[in-house]
């Protein structure tokens, strides 16, 4: 009897030790995320902005089925979100990629992580399509992508394009021994890729490959990533963003929201599609002939809007007071540390929600505007709730594939 009791106690103690270890590991991950050479305040601002961006992703996906509804505020909010949220994420990805001190083997781990996440999301979301949309195909099409997993595939290809830089850095060539020469080569290489990608996105090959391996998104959004890397290597600081782009971003955001019907044909550029899909929209003849200018102009347009919202987040963090403000700030900062699991796992919840028939009255315009607006508010709260549910250390460790090494 004593042996049984001792074995039971030992078993319970083992479970307790495992839980303590898991909690400690989660705590260490949170602390490591807060460490940065530029100070905790700056990290708090950036994390809060990332939290806002991942909220925009989730809310934008809830708005997606309703963007063409008779109630215009669904569509206006949707296109405002899509004008900046993924470009901002890619800019930040490039910025922190350049800022981080990469250990040996980090490149291979990054490539494997992005590829595995892409494959997992394809299978995971295909199951959601079967369950909620009646998809008939048993296996997903891994070769074509225009839905949520495209982001992982784009990060994979962007990492591949940086192989020459990483090779020269690892071999410590003469070019990389002098900081000035290294910086010049880095800028020229990344600038060359940006200049190459923009016209390639209007290449006739787009008619043939379409959404093959998300190459349209790769070419369209890649320049934002490279701009982030250039900013990470320069004297750019999130604490010293000039007021002019923030001011212009506010004008762009308000104008887009208010005058969406007049600029709607130009919003195709927000999706990162091939150039031919932009050219066939009802745009001015000048832009039909020189549609590449829309792609070029979208870069500052999008980043200015991102600067505007970042500035609002910073003002809120600095001047907000009271329990509600403090709780919201903490929420945004926490969500900013769990963007990956939220991005990976959120969409089936959206699919289940609309598969239940919710929101059908919005599409059909059966109810008055007050009820439609109430539904809009419900989607806001539902998005926040979903962020709470998915911001978990266990999901974050899964998405980071810790078994590949730190």
Q: Is the dihedral of CA 284, 287, 293, 298 positive or negative?
A: positive
Provide the pLDDT confidence category of residue 3 given band limits of 50, 70 and 90.
low
If you ran DSSP here, which 8-state letter would residue 144 be given?
B
- Name the more confident of 359 and 139: 139
Which residue has better confidence, 322 or 114? Answer: 114
**Residue 37 in this model has a pLDDT that exceeds 50:** no
Q: Answer yes or no: are the C-beta atoms of 218 and 161 closer than 8 Å.
A: no
Once rounded to an integer, what is the mean pLDDT over residues 323-348?
Answer: 92
Q: Are 224 and 299 in contact (CB under 8 A)?
A: yes
Is the pLDDT score of 404 beyond 60? no
Spell out the residues 6+ positions from residue 296 whose beta carbon is closer than 8 angstroms to its own: 198
Task: Please report the pLDDT score of residue 21 as a whole number.
Answer: 58
User: Of 22-31, 200-209, 217-226, 354-363, which one has max mean pLDDT?
Assistant: 217-226
pLDDT at 10: 57
The per-residue pLDDT for 156 is 97
pLDDT value of residue 11: 53
- Convert the pLDDT of each residue in 242-276 to its tens digit: 999 999 999 999 999 999 999 999 999 999 999 99
Q: Under a CB-based contact definition with an 8 Å cutoff, are residues 51 and 336 in contact?
A: yes
Higher-confidence residue: 4 or 302? 302
Provide the percentage of residues in the chain whose pLDDT is more than 90: 65
- Please check the confidence at residue 40 and state whether its pLDDT lies above 50: no
Residue 366: CB atoms within 10 A of its CB come to 11
Euclidean distance between CA atoms 156 and 117, whole angstroms = 10
Residue 39: per-residue pLDDT: 39
Nearest to 298 by CA among 4, 27, 17, 83: 83
Q: Is pLDDT of 222 > 90?
A: yes
**Statement: residue 360 has pLDDT above 60:** yes
What pLDDT sits at residue 112?
94
Read out DSSP for 149-206? THHHHHHHHHHHHTHHHHHHHHHT-HHHHSHHHHHHHHHHHHHHHHHHHHHHTT-TTH
Give the pLDDT score at 6: 56
CA-nearest of 304, 309, 312 to 249 is 304
Calculate the dihedral angle through the C-alpha atoms of 9, 15, 18, 20, rounding to the nearest 10 degrees: -80
380 pLDDT tier (thresholds 50, 70, 90): very high
Helix (H) or strand (E) holding 63: helix 40-63
Q: pLDDT higher for 15 or 97?
A: 97
Average pLDDT, the chain: 87
pLDDT of residue 270: 97
- Judged against a pLDDT cut of 60, whether residue 8 lies above it is answered with no
Any idea what DSSP says for residue 270?
G
Of the pLDDT bands very low, low, confident and very high (cuts 50, 70, 90), residue 15 is low
Tokens coding 120: 């997992």
Q: What contacts 56, CB < 8 A, 6 or more positions away?
A: 81, 85
The predicted pLDDT at position 207 comes to 86
pTM score of the predicted model: 0.89
Q: Which residues pair with 212 in a beta bridge?
A: 144
Note the pLDDT of residue 212. Answer: 95
Is residue 254 a contact partner of residue 184, using CB atoms and an 8 Å limit? no
**Ranges 20-34, 69-83, 162-176, 190-204: which has the least confidence:** 20-34
Q: What is the pLDDT of residues 133-188, one digit of tens each?
A: 998 899 999 999 999 999 999 999 999 999 998 888 777 666 666 666 778 888 99
Cβ–Cβ under 8 Å, residues 50 and 339: yes
The pLDDT value recorded for residue 100 is 81
Question: Structure tokens of 395?
Answer: 């999901």
Distance (Å, whole) CA 58 – CA 383: 6
Phi-psi group of 39: left, alpha or beta (phi > 0 → left; psi -120 to 50 → alpha; rest → beta): left
Within 25-68, strands assigned E span none
Q: Answer yes or no: is pLDDT of 30 > 70.
A: no
With beta carbons less than 8 A apart as the criterion, state whether 117 and 404 touch: no
The predicted structure's pLDDT at residue 42: 47
Q: How many Cα atoms within 13 Å fall on the side-chain side of residue 214?
A: 24
Take residue 385 and report the two structure tokens written for it.
């709730």
């Amino acid at each position: 009897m004593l042996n049984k009791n001792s074995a039971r106690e030992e078993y319970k103690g083992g479970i307790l030790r495992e839980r303590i270890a898991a909690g400690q590991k989660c705590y260490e991950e949170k602390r490591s995320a807060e460490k940065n050479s530029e100070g905790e305040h700056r990290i708090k601002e950036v994390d809060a902005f990332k939290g806002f961006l991942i909220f925009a992703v989730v809310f934008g996906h809830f708005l997606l089925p309703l963007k063409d509804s008779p109630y215009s505020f669904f569509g206006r909010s949707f296109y405002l979100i899509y004008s900046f949220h993924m470009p901002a994420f890619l800019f930040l990805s490039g910025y922190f990629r350049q800022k981080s001190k990469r250990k040996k083997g980090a490149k291979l781990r990054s490539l494997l992580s992005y590829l595995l996440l892409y494959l997992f999301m394809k299978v995971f979301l295909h199951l959601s399509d079967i369950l909620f949309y009646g998809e008939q195909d048993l296996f997903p099409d891994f070769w074509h992508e225009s839905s949520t997993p495209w982001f992982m595939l784009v990060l994979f290809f962007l990492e591949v394009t940086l192989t020459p830089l990483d090779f020269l850095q690892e071999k410590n060539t003469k070019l990389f021994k002098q900081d000035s020469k290294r910086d010049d080569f880095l800028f020229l290489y990344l600038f060359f890729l940006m200049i190459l990608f923009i016209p390639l996105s209007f290449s006739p090959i787009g008619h043939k490959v379409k959404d093959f391996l998300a190459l349209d998104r790769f070419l369209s959004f890649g320049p934002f990533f490279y701009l982030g890397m250039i900013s990470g290597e320069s004297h750019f600081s999130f604490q010293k963003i000039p007021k002019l782009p923030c001011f212009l971003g506010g004008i762009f955001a308000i104008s887009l929201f208010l005058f969406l019907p007049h600029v709607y044909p130009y919003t195709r550029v927000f999706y990162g599609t091939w150039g031919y899909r932009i050219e066939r929209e009802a745009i001015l003849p000048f832009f039909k002939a020189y549609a590449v200018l829309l792609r070029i102009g979208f870069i500052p347009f999008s980043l200015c809007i991102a600067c505007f919202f970042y500035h609002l987040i910073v003002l809120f963090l600095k001047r907000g007071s009271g329990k509600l403000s403090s709780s919201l700030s903490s929420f945004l900062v926490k969500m900013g540390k769990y963007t990956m699991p939220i991005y990976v796992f959120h969409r089936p919840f959206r699919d289940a929600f609309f598969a239940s028939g919710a929101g059908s009255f919005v599409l059909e315009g059966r109810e008055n505007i007050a009820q439609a607006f109430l539904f809009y508010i419900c989607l806001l709260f539902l998005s926040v709730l979903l962020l709470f549910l998915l911001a978990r250390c266990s999901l974050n460790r899964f998405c980071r594939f810790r078994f590949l090494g730190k």
